[in-house]
């Protein structure tokens, strides 16, 4: 049994993570702002993680074997966590994102087209941190989501007094109405209604992961001893045409496409630049991934069966 603290953990794969840790017999503490109650048997500390003094007071004398941070988006938040959990945990696992590799958001090493992007492309131990940027501004943070994640990783890797690992997640799908991004629902609804999907003519592939598989990987990461980043994606990249055709088959319809120039925004999984991740490091460390094409049809069916979101 381990003492595990989950920051966030109130919805989607974070909620599933908490349940699986509890089922495995771990002593689980959840920290969030209290919008959703924790499951029975899970300690719940209601506090804003951005309020350093309040977080310190809420933790009191508690210590943990592992902290899993689901909601760290900026270097400011990471710096608070590094100070607060200094001496309180031996291991810190942060949920990060494929977006750290997006070449449109930073000057990154060029990866040959078709070569899966490895963790070395963004090294948190050397990444520059700028604490004086307007990270508290919601609009700025939304526009700089990828850089916020890169710098948050960098702070925890460079100044944390614990073993640090980041899990860089691919695009997370599955769960029907639980999938709060709405991206799969976007395709399901448009294809079902016969509406066009905006795509790039030469759309490049990306990678995905089922929310249950991501929860499994995070549970695995709490018990592992690796440090540094690890990419989390199912086997088998798909481009937007592959993706839409799987949705269309499940919906019993034909996908209709509308092509836009490369420099224009298209639908969520149409990319005009390459940053599909490699999952080779996680495999070498012992994690086994499913194939995207094995679980995606079921995830589409679940989305099609979910109540439609209201339209304005």
Sign for the pseudo-dihedral over CA of 217, 26, 3, 79: positive
Write the pLDDT tens digit of every residue in 123-171. 999 999 999 999 999 999 999 999 999 999 999 999 999 999 999 999 9
Global confidence as pTM: 0.95
Q: What is the DSSP string of 28-91?
A: EEEEE-SSSPPPTTSEEEE--TT-HHHHHHHHTT--EEEEEES---SHHHHHHHHHHTTTTEEE
311 found inside a domain: no
308 found inside a domain: no
3-state SS assignment for residue 177 = helix
How many angstroms separate the Cα of 224 from the Cα of each of 244, 251, 269, 289?
36, 40, 32, 16
pLDDT-derived band at 34 (thresholds 50, 70, 90) equals: confident
Mean model confidence pLDDT for the chain: 94
What is the rounded average pLDDT of the residues 28-57?
92
Q: Which of 55-59, 86-90, 105-109, 179-183 has the lowest mean pLDDT?
A: 179-183
What is the extent of the structural domain holding 278? 3-303
Strands (DSSP E) along the chain, which ranges? 3-7, 27-32, 43-46, 64-69, 89-97, 163-169, 171-173, 196-200, 208-210, 228-232, 256-260
pLDDT higher than 70, residue 198: yes
247 found inside a domain: yes
Q: What is the pLDDT of residue 208?
A: 98
DSSP H helix total and E strand total for the chain:
10, 11
pLDDT higher than 90, residue 27: yes
| First-to-last C-alpha distance (Å) of the chain | 48
Backbone phi, psi, residue 17, to 5°: -55, -50
310 found inside a domain: no
100 found inside a domain: yes
Judge whether 122 and 231 are in contact, CB under 8 Å.
no
Q: 27-32 and 171-173: which strand pairing?
A: unpaired
d(CA 9, CA 19): 9
Q: What is the pLDDT of residue 308?
A: 61
80 found inside a domain: yes
Sign for the pseudo-dihedral over CA of 289, 173, 33, 35: negative
309 found inside a domain: no
pLDDT higher than 90, residue 264: no
d(CA 174, CA 142): 24
Based on its alpha-carbon atoms, the radius of gyration of the chain, rounded to whole angstroms, reads 20
Q: 3-7 and 27-32: which strand pairing?
A: parallel
112 found inside a domain: yes
Judge whether 205 and 238 are in contact, CB under 8 Å.
yes
> Which distant-in-sequence residues (6+ apart) come within 8 Å of 145 by Cβ?
73, 97, 99
**Which residue bears the tokens 């592939």?**
205
What is the rounded average pLDDT of the residues 185-214?
95
3-state SS assignment for residue 206 = strand
Q: What is the pLDDT of residue 178?
A: 83
CATH number at residue 121: 3.40.50.720
Looking at the structure of the chain, the number of domains it has is: 1
pLDDT-derived band at 310 (thresholds 50, 70, 90) equals: very low
Q: To the nearest whole percent, how much of the chain has pLDDT over 90? A: 88
Residue, of 308 and 227, whose pLDDT is higher? 227
Q: What's the token pair of residue 135?
A: 């990270």
Q: What's the token pair of residue 246?
A: 């799987």
């Amino acid at each position: 049994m381990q003492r595990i603290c989950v920051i966030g953990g109130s919805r989607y794969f974070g909620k599933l993570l908490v349940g699986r840790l509890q089922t495995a017999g771990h002593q689980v503490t959840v920290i969030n702002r209290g919008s959703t109650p924790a499951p029975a048997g899970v300690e719940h500390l209601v506090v804003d993680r951005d309020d350093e003094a309040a977080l310190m007071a809420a933790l009191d004398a508690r210590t943990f074997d592992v902290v899993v941070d689901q909601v760290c988006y900026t270097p400011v938040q990471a710096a608070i966590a590094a100070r607060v959990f200094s001496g309180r945990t031996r291991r810190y696992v942060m949920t990060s994102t494929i977006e750290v590799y997006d070449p449109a958001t930073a000057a990154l090493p060029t990866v040959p087209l078709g070569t899966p992007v490895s963790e070395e492309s963004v090294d948190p131990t050397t990444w520059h941190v700028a604490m004086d940027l307007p990270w508290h501004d919601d609009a700025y943070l939304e526009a700089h989501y990828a850089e916020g994640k890169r710098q948050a990783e960098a702070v925890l890797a460079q100044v944390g007094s614990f073993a640090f690992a980041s899990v860089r997640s691919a695009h997370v799908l599955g769960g029907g109405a639980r999938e709060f991004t709405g991206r799969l629902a976007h395709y399901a609804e448009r294809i079902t209604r016969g509406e066009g999907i905006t795509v790039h003519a030469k759309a490049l592939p990306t990678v995905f992961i089922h929310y249950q598989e991501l929860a499994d990987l995070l549970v695995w990461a709490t018990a592992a001893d690796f440090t540094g980043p690890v990419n989390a994606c199912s086997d088998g990249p798909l481009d937007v045409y592959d993706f839409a055709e799987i949705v269309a088959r499940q919906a019993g319809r034909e996908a209709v496409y509308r092509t836009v120039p490369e420099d224009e925004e298209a639908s969520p999984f149409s990319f005009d630049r390459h940053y599909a991740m490699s999952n080779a490091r996680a495999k070498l460390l012992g994690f086994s991934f499913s194939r995207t094409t094995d679980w995606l049809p079921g995830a589409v069916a679940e989305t099609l069966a979910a109540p439609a979101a209201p339209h304005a």
